[in-house]
Amino acid sequence: WDFLGRGLYSWDPCCAGENLSFWEACEDLKYGDQSKVKEKAEEIYKLFLAPGARRWINIDGTTMGITVKGLKHPHRYVLDAAQTHIYMLMKKDSYGRYLKSPVYKEMLAKAVVPQETVKK
- Residues 26-76 have pLDDT tens digits of 999 999 999 999 999 999 999 999 999 999 998 999 999 999 999 999 999
Q: State the pLDDT at residue 8.
A: 47
14-104 sits in which CATH class? mainly alpha
Instruction: Answer yes or no: is pLDDT of 89 > 70.
Output: yes
**What φ, ψ does residue 95 adopt, rounded to 5°?**
-65, -40
Distance CA 87, CA 27 (A): 12
Amino acid making up residue 79: L
pLDDT digits (tens, 9 = 90+) for 98-112: 677 777 777 777 777
Model confidence at 116, pLDDT cuts 50, 70, 90, reads low
Q: State the pLDDT at residue 30.
A: 97
DSSP 116: G
